[in-house]
Structure formats: C-alpha cells, structure tokens
Amino acid sequence: MEDVNIKITDRDGVTHDIVAPTDMAMNLMEVVRSYELAPEGTIGVCGGMAMCASCQCYVLSDTELPEMGDDEEAMLSEAFDVKDNSRLGCQIQITPEMEGLEVELAPES
C-alpha cells in the first residue's frame, strides 16, 4: 500500500495537506469529498461521469497527469472559470505518480 501527499486549496483559499490512498481506485474528486473540502452537493454532482464540471480544479504543480479524454475536454469547453491548467478532478486517478500534486478547486458555478 502506497499513499501519496497532495496539496488541495479549497474554495475559501485554505490549503490542505492530504494523504491520499493509491490502493482504493479513488479519483481526486472522491478525495475532496472524503475529506469534506467542499460543501456537500457542490462537487461531483454528476457522480464522476465528466458531465458537470463541479469538480473542476486548477493544477498548480508540474505533476505529469494522464492526457485529457474527449469527455473531459468537451465538458471543460462548456464550463465557467476555465483556465489553461483546468482539469476535472473526477478524471484524475490517484496513483503513485500523483505524489506532490498541487491543485486549487475552481469556484463553484
């Protein structure tokens, strides 16, 4: 079992140092929900299907992430507050390669 250290800045600007498990097939959105870093019902509204952008985040570190899929790209093209470093948390699997990942949650839209 290997856990990774991730920094998540919530929508209030507070940075949280999180230890996320790599052996539970979780994604970043699920980690945010499990640590209650966003109010219930404001993140992961679609259940992680890349259909709502409520889990949009800005990647602040140079951590190498998997390439963006078509569904994620399409959703971000319609979302609010999108930046060049925007990703959907539901599409970022927690793997050992995510060690040191730093993200900021996008504003609720």
- Concatenating the DSSP letter of every residue in 23-78 gives SS--BHHHHHHHTT-S-TTSS-TTSSSSSS-TTEEEE-S----PPPPHHHHHHHHH
State residue 88 phi and psi, 5-degree precision: -95, 125
pLDDT digits (tens, 9 = 90+) for 9-28: 999 999 999 999 999 999 99
pLDDT digits (tens, 9 = 90+) for 50-103: 999 999 999 999 999 999 999 999 999 999 999 999 999 999 999 999 999 999
Predicted TM-score of the model (pTM): 0.95
State residue 9 phi and psi, 5-degree precision: -95, 120
In the predicted model, is pLDDT for residue 32 greater than 90?
yes
User: Which range of residues forms the domain containing residue 78?
Assistant: 3-105
- Position 45 scores a pLDDT of 94
CATH number at residue 41: 3.10.20.30
- Position 39 scores a pLDDT of 93
In the predicted model, is pLDDT for residue 1 greater than 70?
no
What's the distance, CA 9 to chain centroid?
11
Number of domains, the chain: 1
Which burial class, exposed, middle or buried, applies to 42 when counting CB atoms under 10 A from its CB (0-12, 13-18, 19+)?
Answer: middle
